[in-house]
Structure 1
Amino acid sequence: MASKPCSTFFTFPLLHLVMLLLLPLSIHSHSTQHQEPFKSLEGCHKGQTLKGLHKIKQYLEKFGYLPHHHRNKTGSGDDDTFDDSLESAVKTYQLNYHLNATGVLDGKTLHDMALPRCGIPDIVDGRSSMRSGKKRHLGSMHHTVAHFSFFPNNPRWPPSKRQLTYGFLPGVQVIGTQNLRSVCKSAFDRWARVSHFTFQETQNVNTADLKIGFYRGNHGDGSSFDGPGRTVAHAFAPTDGRFHFDADERWAINPVTGAMDVESVALHEIGHLLGLGHSSVPEAIMFPTILVGAKKVNLHGDDVQGIQTLYNTP
């Protein structure tokens, strides 16, 4: 369109008006295409066999709700039978995401499974849980029940590492370096305000405690990205320090229709770098999913309680 003479616009004004009106709809369709993959499974329940059900099992395996390489009696990798173990896994998923725990693949459950999310499992090695229900005492008479979680064995940075350095890996260039530095600094500053940590950027990424980069597909860390949609980033527990964005996503510095907000995702993944697992509080930064185009950068009380409990700080 841009290469045609300007007079074309005036020759067909109605056509261009229609195209402009339709443009937001096409962008919205792109941003919600992730909701389609599981649609045909809506209403599926225990005892049924339905083509494509194995994809739900693969999803639940990946995020910790089923044992890795779950198989039925036949040992088939494409098992489309809704068995007891799948029903139990679906119920656990529904509890974590505040859905009706029926064990049935209803529309809301399938919608939530298709949302963009962190690649770290909700349940790690069958030991961690989004609904930890830990009690944090606030004074002699009061307490609150929180739903933050930690990685198995509660890995933490040692007391001697109160200042953590971070750097940017060469990886894939997706957004401008200065923009990336700015939003990551903002995300680190938010965690610094509620923890005993300080964060300092270093130019020598090889010696940095925390290493940030954009990658596609299988990038050598044992946790491949899956292209546009679904898994948008992941980070490793202390003291590994690796934090990777999926370069196949559409990224933006501020909320943009159809794009993931870099700072919102960075804030979540930094929580993992510090030792936090996922929270079952939807408003918490450590909740596993985020909407396309949303900006979510205010740490919730559950996030604050989690980091302070893990490091035994006020």
Structure 2
Amino acid sequence: MSAKERTPTTAVAGLDGGGLEVREAQRYLARYGYLSGVERAAADEGRLSEPLEAGLRRFQRFARLHVTGTLTVETLKLMRQPRCPMPDFQPEELGGPGVEDSDPFVFSSNVWDQRNLRWSLQTGTPDLADEAAAVQRAFDSWAAQVPLTFTQVSSGTAAELTVEWLTGDHGDGSPFDGSGGAGFNIYAHAFYPEDGRIHFDEAESWAHSHGSGNVDLESVALHEIGHALGLRHSGLSDAVMYFAINSQRRALHEADIRGIKSRYPPVVAAPGQRAVAVPVWALKNGGGSGTVQVDLGTTRRVLAWGHVTMVDSLNDADRDNAWAIEVFDVDGNRPGGFIFGGEHFGSEEAPCNVYSGAFTGRARRITFRATSIHTFDLDIFGTGNILLLDDLEGIE
């Protein structure tokens, strides 16, 4: 259901006069990146103000709630759910991926340069005898989508990723708050590449299922490993990278898959070539997304563009059959993104069936991404194309 289709919900009583709920919301928005430093300084403690209204709108838009700029019941309920303590945005972004940015499916920070990663269990939990197996399954779910491997090594061996169970203030700047804590009920946290630390709160009751006071380890590990690989939060409630943790979720959503594939594409080496064409496809069983990176070996002057060669309809061919093949990344930088439509192109806030076109300039590594916007409707096939412009003078 889109944001505009939701029924407006009742604002919290006493909002205009201020109160504990408003202070709670203000702390939440400041902690998770919905208020800039200037807005935090300008916010009126305990009362609805323009900075707080702006932060509420950002949160409601990101979380696919009805956007009102007021503290509605559904907004407060969501803020009170257990969640990951990683900020959804950095305050200076004033929105960031999924809000004002042009690609709501990618929630990224840095990435690992190497593709064969080791992980070690530094300390476990007495709640489970096989916690390492659950963590390895979570690693394997991500590895099934991208060219990464995760190998467990002993705790005394050097490892890129480390897993630990800790309690309270454990010295990393992000203290745990205990089981059902008085803060925001934090289960675990992780750090972006290339830090490698993944921490779980020992005060929680860890199990192989979610509910009745237990926390499902594999679900939480799947989410935190996403952070450790460089993904950020999603506002899609079905995604593993959703910021709130309210259910057992062990299967990656298409948004998670699109995000991780965008950050870790397979690489095709193409040194010394005057022209390159590489296949790229977006299939339903691959999350509706596909990426490939071409490494030219040296920085060259290029013209690059994506081209759809075939569309295979899986359902009815209607107006929401949107797709794109784009030049997604050039030497670590985004040259553009989807052109977004409103109500007239597919669903509200979804990419429409046009894309940002070609890239020309100097580059060494070019990443193409294919996207099928509605994966239940169609698969797409195409090519990523590169023409070396600095070689054209030698062609008769």
Aligned partners of 1:130 and 1:280 also within 8 Å = no
Which one has a larger percent helix, Structure 1 or Structure 2?
A: 1
Matches within 5 A, 1:264-279: 264-279=219-234
d(CA) in 2 for partners of 1:44 and 1:276? 38
Contact 2:42 2:51 in 1 (8 A): no
What's the secondary structure of 1:219's corresponding residue?
coil
The yes-or-no answer on 1:103 pairing with 2:69 is yes
Highest RCO, 1 vs 2 (Cα 8 Å, sep ≥ 6): 1
1:281 aligns with 2:281: no
Size of the alignment, in residue pairs?
251
The 3-state SS of whatever aligns with 1:280 is coil
Deviations 1:214-265 (A, max 9, x none): 2222111111122223221111100000111122222212234221110000
**Structure 1 pair 206–129 and aligned structure 2 pair: CA distance change class (3 A):** farther
Residue 20 of structure 1 corresponds to which residue in structure 2? none
Match of 2:35 in 1: 66
Cα distance change, pair 73–284 in 1 and its aligned pair in 2 (3 A):
closer
Q: What is the aligned-residue RMSD (CA, Å)? A: 2.4
Write the distance in 1 (CA, Å) between the matches of 2:208 and 2:43. Answer: 48
Q: 2:218 aligns with which of 260, 263, 288?
A: 263
- Whether contact under 8 Å (1:162, 1:198) holds in the other structure is yes
Q: 1:17 aligns to what?
A: none
SS of aligned partner of 1:58:
helix
Q: Does 1:148 align with 2:106?
A: yes
| Distance in 2 of aligned mates of 1:209 and 1:282 | 30
- From the superposition, tell whether residues 283 and 205 of structure 1 become closer, same or farther in structure 2 (CA, over 3 Å): farther
Question: What code does the residue aligned with 1:80 have?
Answer: G
1:217 to 163, 168, 175: 168
- Which of 117, 120, 125 is the equivalent residue of 1:173? 125
Are 1:186 and 2:137 matched, yes or no?
yes
Closer/same/farther in 2, CA of residues 206 and 219 from structure 1, 3 Å limit: farther
Superposition pairs for residues 1-314 of structure 1, below 5 Å?
Answer: 42-43=12-13, 45=15, 47-51=16-20, 53-67=22-36, 70-72=40-42, 79-127=45-93, 129-131=96-98, 146-151=104-109, 155-158=110-113, 161-170=114-123, 173-176=125-128, 178-204=129-155, 207-229=158-180, 230-291=185-246, 294-313=247-266, 314=291
Q: Which runs of 4+ in 1 moved over 6 A?
A: none
Q: TM-score, normalized by length of structure 2?
A: 0.59
TM-score when normalising by structure 1: 0.73
Post-superposition CA distance 1:163-203 (Å, at most 9, x none): 11111123x73423x41111001111111100110000011
Supply the distance in 2 between the matched residues of 1:68 and 1:227 (Cα, whole angstroms).
29
Give the superposition deviation at 1:207. 1.7
Decide which moves more: 120-129 or 276-285: 120-129
**CA distances 1:288-311 after superposition (whole Å, capped 9, x unpaired):** 1121xx321111111111111112
Residues 206 and 48 of structure 1: is their aligned pair in 2 closer, same or farther, counting only changes over 3 Å?
A: farther
Please tell me whether the aligned partners of residues 146 and 265 of structure 2 are also in contact (alpha carbons under 8 angstroms).
no
Identity among equivalent pairs (%)? 33
Once residues 299 and 185 of structure 1 are traced to their aligned partners in structure 2, the CA distance between those partners, rounded to angstroms, is 15
C-alpha distance in 2 between matches for 1:109 and 1:188: 32
3-state SS of the aligned residue for 2:169? coil
Answer 1 or 2: which has greater strand percent: 2
Q: Which runs of 5+ in 1 are unaligned?
A: 1-40, 136-144
Cα distance per residue 1:42-71 (max 9 Å; x no partner): 2454x5322453222111111111236934
Q: In structure 2, do the counterparts of structure 1 residues 283 and 130 end up closer, same or farther at CA, with 3 Å as the change threshold? A: farther
Matches of 1:277 and 1:205, distance apart in 2 = 30
Unaligned 5+ residue runs, structure 2? 1-10, 267-290, 292-396
1:67-95 per-position Cα deviation (integer Å, ceiling 9, x unaligned) = 36934478xxxx21221111111111111
